[in-house]
Structure 1
Amino acid sequence: MDNSSSTLLDDLFQEYAHKSLPTRPQTGVLYNASLPSNFTGVEVSMVRLRWDSFRRKGANYSGFLMPPQIFAYPYFTRIDIVYSNLGSRSSDYYSVPNHTLVAPVVGFNIYGSPGQNGNLTKLNLTLFGGPVLVQFPPVPQKAKCVTFYSNGTFEMSNVTNVTQQDTCTVRDQGHFSMVVELPSTSTPNDKERTKLWRWWVFGFGVGVLGLLLIGFIAFMMVRIFRMRNIGKMEKEAEKNEVLDTTNVGQSKMPIATVIRTQPVIENDYVP
Structure 2
Amino acid sequence: MDSFSFCTSKISIIIIFLLSFHQSESQFIQSTHLLDLMIRDYTIRNFKLNLNTGITQKIYLPSNFSGIDIETVKLRCGSLRRYGATIGGFHISSGVTVEPCSERVMLVRQNLGSNWSSIYSTGYNLTGYNYQLVSPVLGLLAYNANPDGVATNPYEVNVVGTDQNPILIDFLSNKSSGNPNLDPKSTKTNSSVLCACFTSNGNKTTFSEQVSPYVCKGTRQGHYALVTTLEPRKEDNGGGGGGGGMVTSSTEVSGGGGGKLSRWKVAIGSVIGSGIAAILLGMLVVAMLVKVKKKAMREEMERRAYEEEALQVSMVGHVRAPTASGTRTLPIIADDRYKNTHLNHYP
Fold match by TM threshold 0.5: yes
Relative to structure 1, the CA distance from residue 33 to residue 153 in structure 2 (aligned partners, 3 Å threshold; closer, same or farther) is same
Measured against aligned partners, the alpha-carbon deviations of 1:168-198 in whole angstroms (never above 9, x if no partner) come to 11111111101111223599xx79x67x96x
Offset at 1:115?
Answer: 4.3
Q: What is aligned with 1:130?
A: 165
Q: What is aligned with 2:195?
A: 145
Q: TM-score, normalised by structure 2?
A: 0.50
Matches for 1:202-213 after TM superposition, within 5 Å: none
Q: SS of the counterpart of 1:60?
A: strand
Amino acid at match of 2:218: V
Maintained 8 Å contact 2:68/2:113: yes
Matches for 1:92-241 after TM superposition, within 5 Å: 92-95=118-121, 96-97=126-127, 98-115=130-147, 118-128=152-162, 129-137=164-172, 138=182, 142-150=192-200, 151-161=202-212, 165-184=213-232
For structure 2, the residue ranges without an aligned partner over 5 or more in a row are 1-29, 173-181, 184-189, 236-260, 272-347
Q: SS of the counterpart of 2:231?
A: coil
Amino acid at match of 1:80: M
Maintained 8 Å contact 1:160/1:167: yes
Identity of aligned residues (%): 29
- What is the aligned length? 195
Q: TM-score, normalised by structure 1?
A: 0.63
Between 1:112-121 and 1:24-33, the stretch displaced more is 112-121
For structure 1, the residue ranges without an aligned partner over 5 or more in a row are 201-271
- 1:88 aligned onto 2:120: no
Between 1:22-31 and 1:63-72, the stretch displaced more is 22-31
More strand by share: 1
Between 1:107-116 and 1:26-35, the stretch displaced more is 107-116
Measured against aligned partners, the alpha-carbon deviations of 1:78-113 in whole angstroms (never above 9, x if no partner) come to 111001000122443111113221110000111111
Alignment partners' CA distance in 1, 2:117 and 2:76: 35
Alignment partners' CA distance in 2, 1:156 and 1:182: 14
Maintained 8 Å contact 2:194/2:227: yes
Alignment partners' CA distance in 2, 1:166 and 1:13: 26
Q: What is aligned with 2:73?
A: 47
Maintained 8 Å contact 2:71/2:87: no
Q: SS of the counterpart of 2:97?
A: strand
Alignment partners' CA distance in 1, 2:147 and 2:31: 27
Alignment partners' CA distance in 1, 2:234 and 2:44: 49
Alignment partners' CA distance in 1, 2:203 and 2:90: 22
Amino acid at match of 1:88: S
Offset at 1:141?
Answer: 5.2
Amino acid at match of 2:193: A
Alignment partners' CA distance in 2, 1:179 and 1:84: 18
RMSD (Å), alpha carbons:
3.2
Maintained 8 Å contact 1:159/1:167: yes
Maintained 8 Å contact 2:103/2:146: no
Q: 25, 36, 39: which is aligned to 1:10? A: 36
